Structure 1
């Protein structure tokens, strides 16, 4: 079945993952007169039986959060026993629920449409959400909590093994984690234990608030994609930056679309996590990728959109640039020609288009691996995917996407997304080194500085910006 098991670590991760699971649930079909879903549900969902004997499907996920963070979701929850928010009361009563507002969303569970297995919910009672007495903020605090819990319980054996052992052909883990607080330390230690336990040679780079986490995690995961909501958005996207429900919805749209190939039933269109990682990390040690997205704002605009499913040879050869870039501003700055930065070299890219159908476009020559044939060694390695399946705008999803009349869009979107690696990472790793090198202890300074420089050099091959040459600090 090529199952993917998900880990959700902390509030930021759980808000995003809730949108992700709601979207997956929307792909299920429940009546004979509905067309068969193009999504293979067994990748992310496990079959089971409810107490009344009916068949159920629940996410293959383990959800970690602090005391007081789960809201309506209880340890014995969902199918079994659940305190319900107004949105869920309407949903479970078979009524059309009123779309939540930012003020009505207090917890990620307030807009969850899926049922979780009781073993999926793990409350860490040692810390309380938003505690002023013992805030869960420091990287070392997360590391220490994981060490204490793992020593006492063996977390992988207690929480993860059930989902791993019931998978027939697991293709990998999908980890959602907050990285700018103590969850970064918790995630670093958790992924390290997973690598040791399951023998995965992963390199994980954390581009967040702790340089120490970057160098530690860089060596453990195949690909890491730093995400942040852009500071500036076009008029077609309107969101409340103070609402995690809003911001995580925008991120989930791009994440769910970019990873769509891992869930498709059609073997011609489907790809694995490993296959996608192999294309992105074509140089061997380029584990950091950037995520971009564009969407069609109406049926007419979708029909006339110049950025169709089949992108032009020129776009593919130079590296696809889409409307919304989710690169954290403190890690990868803008490089448009207008602000004085040269466009970076794109090493590799995965382009996924959904909802556009079979429009005619410029033919692109492919090799045996279904990747675009490069005309020169400087062009990026490119693999493209497409599906007729649009991104659904559910009633649990905020009205953040607008049409040409500034009215909220409903029902579904056409999405083009891109995951890519490029040379701009080099400059940003050097900048990060300069920012943190004076703030760490003398005993770690040389080691950490060298590791960051070695990582930066992996994104410098075949690229020269002139003024960057010879600058190490």
Structure 2
């Protein structure tokens, strides 16, 4: 029988944009952990009268005790980024810092002459992070007080303030979680980390100098009772695709049969639009990204149990979706696009974190790849699931599932038109946050609505379908972008804006502002589909048109690439594409 103390997952995040996605993921787990605002949809519930939590927190979190005797509960996580990529975050945060020692006490000075110390200027904390620290101090005395008066959250205008993922992070991490690649500086045009083989060499160098695998990876993995799998988030358009390849090769030596799901992110900067593609710099940069992505796709597919490519959405890709009218997403902001991708990953992963209906990662991935040759998956999302109040019947399922000819799902794994016919091989559906009707006379009931919704999705799209229903909506902490509109506080369609009576010398009815949305219903779909072959064919075409001799940097280092390597990957990707042929 499954117990909550077993079946842990270790997450590895590689690269700046992956950490943008990961920060949203971890922030959602502990909505408002140390402030005066308590979300009703937070995963963590407390008190004798609190409902039993739906999510097994111990799957991705770990308990510990610091040297000062402080009990901790931190993500089971390894974070990799370039120098300058961690922003204001320090390796030793307030939970783990030793207040009895000066940071310089650990330095052994053997030089007896004058010694000068040089320190880089600290990355400034924005208003949001400063306020978070103040609220933490103010509410330490209230940590055991679960019912706190709900107040309107201030708007910190994070769209303008977020430049790095640490600018909206609200989580304490274990010191062993942070791993910095000191050979490369973030956003350094003179020595960019933009070649697949650079990542392979950087992994070797990091292990020689820091031994992060033996020291940090083993620390997290070997303290687990029974690891059910590893969750990788990595960028694939730069050197981190090569870094992830080497990392996974090392893991496979120690864990040859353990499940690994890898989410690979393409460039959020959108260099593929026509306006920039044909300029000399962007054309060269785009070709390098295409080459990196192709090598990453092939290698990460070989080493993972399931590889899921993900594309940050572009501005014109959401216009046709029925739920996009409630979403004002700025595709130029990684802070925004990463939030959308994170919601899809977080919701899909509930299958192997759900306490009521737990499915081990190995079982989920084996069902997704039941043919045993479809190791490239696809992730789709409706964010939010556009439903109304139970009293209004939630909404017409036929209109919710299909908007014209287009599926309600936003395909995060391909750039294809939503109206393109596809053949689903298998799918795992997770619907969450559909509220319960308060009056039994309302029709349809919640269970009837969900059954009709899932039946419709199975009939239209699926052969083999897995269904999961989660009561808890997707939480939106104050660190999340405020890009929803036309929704109430619970993320349901607000058909009738509330009227408020105000008295200022005379009575007048005014539209009251819609309350800040604190959670939203969501539906995700993790699948294998024939659409994947189009993505592979695009990458094959890129390999055919790129002359490796024009990019001598790829031949540098111990893991330099040759034209034979390109040819081999191209031929093997032909084989991968054929697997997803409709025939």
Compute the TM-score of the two structures, normalised by the length of structure 2: 0.69
1:211-360 paired onto structure 2 within 5 Å: 211-231=294-314, 232-233=317-318, 234-266=324-356, 269-294=357-382, 295-297=384-386, 299-300=388-389, 303-307=393-397, 321-329=407-415, 333-334=416-417, 336=419, 341=420, 343-356=421-434, 357=436, 358-360=446-448
Q: Offset of 1:408 from its aligned partner? A: 7.5
Q: Offset of 1:10 from its aligned partner? A: 1.0
Change (3 A) 1:270 1:303: farther
Q: For residue 196 of structure 1, what is the aligned residue in structure 2?
A: 253
Q: For residue 95 of structure 2, what is the aligned residue in structure 1?
A: 79
Alignment partner of 1:117 is 2:168: no
Contact kept in structure 1, 2:536 and 2:573, CA below 8 Å: yes
Contact kept in structure 2, 1:205 and 1:215, CA below 8 Å: no
Change (3 A) 1:431 1:207: farther
Change (3 A) 1:303 1:86: farther
How far, CA to CA, are the matches of 1:248 and 1:206 in structure 2? 12
Change (3 A) 1:199 1:73: same
Alignment partner of 1:186 is 2:243: yes
Q: For residue 468 of structure 1, what is the aligned residue in structure 2?
A: none
Match of 1:104 among 158, 161, 169: 161
Q: Offset of 1:198 from its aligned partner? A: 1.8
Q: Offset of 1:40 from its aligned partner? A: 1.1
How far, CA to CA, are the matches of 1:419 and 1:427 in structure 2? 18
Alignment partner of 1:389 is 2:472: yes
How far, CA to CA, are the matches of 1:293 and 1:206 in structure 2? 16
Residue ranges of structure 1 left out of the alignment (5+ in a row): 465-473
Q: For residue 452 of structure 1, what is the aligned residue in structure 2?
A: 573
Residue ranges of structure 2 left out of the alignment (5+ in a row): 1-5, 32-42, 98-121, 139-152, 267-289, 319-323, 437-445, 487-493, 498-512, 549-561
How far, CA to CA, are the matches of 2:450 and 2:522 in structure 1? 19
Q: Offset of 1:279 from its aligned partner? A: 1.3
Q: For residue 161 of structure 1, what is the aligned residue in structure 2?
A: 218
Contact kept in structure 1, 2:308 and 2:377, CA below 8 Å: yes
Contact kept in structure 2, 1:99 and 1:397, CA below 8 Å: no
How far, CA to CA, are the matches of 1:74 and 1:207 in structure 2? 26
Change (3 A) 1:322 1:408: farther
Contact kept in structure 2, 1:402 and 1:409, CA below 8 Å: no
The 3-state SS of whatever aligns with 1:175 is strand
Deviations 1:126-167 (A, max 9, x none): 111111221111112111111222234443112200000111
Q: For residue 424 of structure 1, what is the aligned residue in structure 2?
A: 531
How far, CA to CA, are the matches of 2:579 and 2:515 in structure 1? 43
Deviations 1:151-190 (A, max 9, x none): 3444311220000011101101111111111111111111
Aligned residues: 437
Q: For residue 80 of structure 2, what is the aligned residue in structure 1?
A: 64
Change (3 A) 1:135 1:123: same
Q: Offset of 1:435 from its aligned partner? A: 2.2
How far, CA to CA, are the matches of 1:85 and 1:78 in structure 2? 18
Contact kept in structure 1, 2:313 and 2:331, CA below 8 Å: no
Larger CA deviation: 108-117 vs 443-452: 443-452
Alignment partner of 1:2 is 2:7: yes
